[in-house]
Structure 1
């Protein structure tokens, strides 16, 4: 193999392997095992994962019971206080 062909081949491996790894491992989970996601009451992008059995910290709330997002980008990965939230009647805030 010519020396000029080695760099592009190596570069494609360096870029391609991590890109494929994302596909191989599947969608990114919202939280680790033993945790559940909560959302911020005053910020549409604010969220964190709370330990199972613990209430959310002040300023945060739990998702409606049947609408808890499991993976990033799933149908429930939305801010429950948004005007267009489809399940608004199920939202309970502290």
Structure 2
């Protein structure tokens, strides 16, 4: 396991172990970990089997979905903050 993947995994585990887990932070570390795994798989693209390519496709789709969820969550938080500003 490369150092960058090990570090991304370490960060993700740290976020999961927090008492008060923040969805955004956990999602960011999960995205980073997935990115690192995809990058490692792409380096070995020449020796990939058909199954490896399917896994790579699923990991890429997962990362995109997670990024979309995170983007949507950020929009929600901004909208809530605006509403609170108007009230207060």
* Range into which the TM-score falls when normalised by the shorter chain: under 0.3
Higher relative contact order (CA 8 A, sep 6+): 2
Q: How high is the TM-score relative to the length of structure 2?
A: 0.28
Larger Rg: 1
Q: How high is the TM-score relative to the length of structure 1?
A: 0.26
Which structure has greater strand proportion? Answer: 1
